[in-house]
């Protein structure tokens, strides 16, 4: 058995929502739908928002105004991930995740069917 990979699930979160909290929640649910299949394959699923949202709650307004914490957290997280699963849908953040993954030379999958079992 190969070692499990930590795989960042990347896709739309805020994109296309117009800031609507219900639409954002639905996008997070879509991202989370890929977590169990990755787990079944023997991997560790990761979603940037799982890490970024608690960080955002702990920062002051001044700190959050300095930059996009969501992108910053994802970029840091990608230094520890072994692969990216890019889900369909327009998302500049997910596109940035793919770019960072390719710069690091780690695999980018566009379907759960492409992900090898651990």
Helix 48-58 / helix 69-77 crossing angle, nearest 10 deg: 130
Mean pLDDT taken over the chain: 93
What integer is the mean pLDDT of 81-91?
A: 97
Q: How confident is the model at residue 97 (pLDDT cuts 50, 70, 90)?
A: very high
For residue range 39-78, what is the model confidence (pLDDT) as tens digits?
999 999 999 999 999 998 898 888 777 768 888 899 999 9
Query: pTM of the prediction?
Result: 0.92
In order of start, what are the domains of the chain with their CATH numbers? 6-112 (3.40.50)
pLDDT at 1 over 60: no
Range list of β-strands (E), 11-107: 44-46, 83-86
């Amino acid at each position: 058995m190969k070692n499990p990979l930590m795989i960042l699930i990347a896709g739309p979160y805020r994109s296309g929502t117009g800031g609507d909290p219900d639409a954002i929640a639905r996008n997070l649910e879509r991202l989370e739908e890929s977590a169990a299949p990755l787990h079944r394959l023997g991997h560790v699923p990761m979603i940037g928002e799982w890490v970024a949202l608690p960080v955002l709650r702990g920062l002051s307004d001044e700190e959050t105004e300095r930059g996009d914490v969501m992108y910053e957290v994802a970029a840091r997280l990608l230094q520890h991930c072994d692969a990216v699963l890019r889900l369909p849908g327009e998302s500049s953040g997910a596109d940035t995740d793919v770019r960072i993954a390719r710069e690091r030379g780690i695999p980018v999958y566009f379907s759960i069917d492409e992900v090898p079992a651990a």
